[in-house]
């Protein structure tokens, strides 16, 4: 049923690199449904996360604010109070039916609604939420014996593994099922709706279902980007997360290629689910009356620079896919190269719904970027705060970064992708570096915890340089499910078992 304002569909993956869409330049990955969105909508090919970690990225996305405004800079830091305005709460107040399916990663209460009227609940780690609709569905299907239905974590976190569940009970399929059910239920309603579908993949563990785990083979995968001067291209957080992800005791390139194959399979399986959702929208007659946005919270290093995980300034971790489709608002087949950010999601949805711009938003309407009417030329990102801060600014030509734990600057030419050279000490680009550095300083001076980041208007906070412990086992983590107990016969339990 045609609505007075468009429906809003937001499909959001976790840890998906920007370079994982066939239509945008990846020659070997199979993403026919994301390719369709690129053909029928606008792809923002310079989109960056405002924070390369799950919780702060999502906080920026739902509030339309950068980290220096809302204060949540890492997974260990809480989001603002539950009544803090979000784009979902604004849409609900404007008369939209709001629903969320899948991973939201809200903190400190993962079961919060934050503007959603209803949620199909699931989160990344079993036991993370008391109410877990996905876990209940898996148990009802007869798979209650599977301790980690989303893949085995801990020591196996970066070991490629087939899902222990068949495809129809895989989390990506479940999220699509819930989205399809919602669209069907709203077919006869005159009320416009806002639907969020939160996929956990391709976040590790990389566990695609059978037979998708055989879609890509390791020998066919490209090797990671390992520049000769990688010591000047990485920072403390790279070394820190390599340690606790069990990835700093040598590099097996065959294993890395297998990791990449399974990661790609997770994306292709998710792509099929996007197609199922699009098919249902089309069947309901609402496809061209629905603003569809597809994006991810951050990327994944996948062995590039000898590193794994997120929490990095490198493009493969900080740059994200971002596509918007709505005929008449986003030109079909267009690729916009202007810097975009997840803080643009909130103003984009609210503008499409006919709402006035919220002055608290740091982002802009993506439609303004697409049609060239926005004057915004720089986006910002920040991971963590104070002595652990990793902050940066990006325009069309350069990316500037300050790493507090390293007490070091980085500057990359945007055309140098993947990054091969840190230009921070090159006198040839002093003007470009100063421009982006001053933009970043001004950005933080306008924020709510400036004293934690800056010593003065012309320098960043001086803190001791951080180093890794010499013990190669120091810092390893297990990440077992909440309440997990090793249920084995007497005589087999380790002495320290619960």
Strand partners, 416: none
pLDDT tens readout for residues 194-206 = 999 999 999 999 9
> Which bin fits 104, alpha (ψ -120 to 50), beta or left (φ > 0)?
alpha
Omega before residue 202 within 30° of 0, cis: yes
pLDDT band at residue 494 using 50, 70 and 90 as cut-offs = confident
Backbone angles phi, psi at 465, to 5 degrees: -70, 135
In 14-66, beta strands by DSSP E: 42-44, 47-48
User: Between 450 and 226, whose confidence is greater?
Assistant: 226
459-460/7-13 β-pairing = unpaired
Pairwise CA distance, residues 490 & 488, whole Å: 7
Report whether pLDDT(1) > 60: no
- Give 140-164 pLDDT, tens digit per residue: 999 999 989 999 998 999 999 999 9
Of 29-43, 215-229, 472-486, which gets the smallest average pLDDT? 472-486
Tens digit of pLDDT for each residue in 341-383? 999 999 999 999 999 999 999 999 999 999 999 999 999 999 9
Could you give the CA distance from residue 400 to residue 380 in angstroms, rounded to a whole number? 10
For residue 2, what pLDDT is reported?
62
Write down the pLDDT at residue 128: 67
Residue 496 pLDDT:
67
Tokens of 9: 């569909």
Pairing of β 334-336 and β 340-341 = unpaired
Given a cut of 70, is residue 303 above it in pLDDT?
yes
CA gyration radius, the chain: 22
Boundaries of every domain in the chain: 7-377
pLDDT one-digit tens code per residue, 88-104: 999 999 999 999 999 99
223-237, 384-398, 416-430, 481-495: which has the minimum mean pLDDT?
481-495
DSSP 273: H
Confidence band, pLDDT 50/70/90 cuts, at residue 114: very high
pLDDT of residue 276 exceeding 70, the answer is yes
Q: How confident is the model over 391-397, as a mean pLDDT? A: 96
Q: How confident is the model at residue 27 (pLDDT cuts 50, 70, 90)?
A: very high
Fold of 7-377: Alkaline Phosphatase, subunit A (3.40.720)
pLDDT of residue 374: 95
pLDDT at 463 over 70: yes
Determine the Cα–Cα distance for residues 264 and 215; give it in Å rounded to an integer: 9
The tokens for 30 are 């199979």
Mean pLDDT, the chain, rounded, equals 93
Does pLDDT of 257 surpass 80? yes
Across 14-23, 249-258, 469-478, which has the greatest mean pLDDT?
14-23
CA count, 13 A, side-chain hemisphere, 65:
21
CA distances from 486 to 151, 156, 160, 481, 497 (A): 17, 17, 23, 11, 7
Instruction: Give the start-end residues of each E strand in 331-479.
Output: 334-336, 340-341, 379-383, 390-394, 398-403, 408-413, 454-456, 459-460
Alpha helices in 361-459 (DSSP H): 366-371, 430-445, 450-453
Rounded CA gap, 373 and 147, in Å? 51
DSSP sequence for 103-149: ----SS-TT--TT-SEEEE--SSTTSSS--HHHHHHHHTT-TT-S-T
pLDDT for residue 126: 63
Examine the pLDDT at 498 and tell me if it is beyond 60.
Answer: no
Contacts of 52 (CB under 8 A, 6+ apart): 298, 299, 310, 311, 312, 313, 317, 318, 381, 383, 390
CA distance 77 to 326: 35
Provide the pLDDT confidence category of residue 230 given band limits of 50, 70 and 90: low
């Amino acid at each position: 049923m045609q609505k007075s304002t468009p429906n809003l569909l937001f499909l959001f993956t976790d840890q998906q690199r920007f370079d994982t869409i066939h239509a945008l330049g990846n020659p070997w990955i199979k993403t026919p449904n994301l390719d369709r969105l690129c053909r029928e909508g606008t792809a923002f090919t310079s989109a960056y996360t405002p924070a390369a970690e799950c919780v702060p990225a999502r906080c920026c996305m739902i509030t339309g604010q950068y980290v220096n405004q809302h204060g949540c800079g890492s997974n260990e830091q809480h989001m603002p109070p539950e009544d803090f305005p979000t784009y979902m709460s604004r849409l609900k107040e404007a008369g939209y039916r709001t629903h969320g399916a899948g991973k939201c990663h809200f903190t400190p209460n993962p079961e919060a609604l934050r503007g959603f009227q209803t949620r199909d609940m699931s989160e990344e780690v079993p036991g993370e939420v008391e109410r877990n609709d996905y876990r209940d569905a898996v148990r009802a299907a007869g798979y209650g014996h599977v301790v980690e239905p989303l893949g085995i974590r801990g020591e196996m976190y970066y070991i490629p593994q087939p899902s222990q569940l068949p495809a129809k009970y895989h989390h990506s399929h479940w999220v699509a099922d819930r989205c399809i059910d919602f669209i069907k239920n709203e077919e006869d309603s005159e009320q416009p709706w806002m639907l969020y579908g939160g996929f956990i993949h391709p976040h590790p563990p990389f566990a695609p279902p059978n037979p998708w785990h055989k879609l890509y083979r390791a020998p066919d995968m490209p090797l990671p980007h390992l520049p000769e001067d990688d010591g000047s291209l990485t920072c403390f957080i790279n070394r820190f997360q390599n340690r606790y992800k069990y990835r700093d005791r040598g590099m097996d390139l065959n294993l890395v290629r297998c990791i990449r194959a399974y990661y790609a399979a997770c994306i292709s399986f998710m792509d099929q689910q996007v197609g199922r959702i699009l098919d249902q929208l089309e069947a309901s007659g609402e496809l061209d009356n629905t603003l569809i946005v597809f994006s991810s919270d951050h990327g994944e290093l996948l062995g590039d620079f000898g590193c794994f995980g997120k929490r990095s300034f490198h493009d493969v971790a900080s740059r994200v896919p971002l596509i918007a489709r709505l005929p008449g608002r986003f030109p079909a087949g267009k690729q916009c190269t202007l810097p975009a950010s997840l803080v643009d999601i909130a103003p984009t949805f609210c503008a499409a719904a006919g709402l006035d711009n919220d002055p608290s938003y740091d982002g802009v309407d993506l439609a303004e970027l697409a049609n060239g009417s926005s004057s915004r030329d720089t986006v910002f990102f920040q991971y963590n705060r104070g002595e652990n801060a990793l902050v940066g600014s990006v325009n069309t030509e350069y990316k500037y970064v300050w790493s507090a734990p390293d007490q070091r600057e980085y500057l990359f030419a945007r055309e140098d992708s993947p990054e091969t050279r840190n230009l921070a000490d090159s006198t040839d680009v002093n003007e470009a570096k100063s421009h982006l550095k001053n933009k970043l300083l001004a950005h933080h001076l306008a924020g709510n915890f400036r004293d934690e980041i800056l010593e003065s208007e012309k320098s960043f906070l001086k803190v001791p340089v951080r180093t890794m412990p010499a013990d190669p086992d120091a810092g390893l983590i297990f990440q077992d499910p909440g309440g997990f107990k090793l249920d084995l016969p007497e005589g087999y339990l380790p002495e320290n078992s619960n």
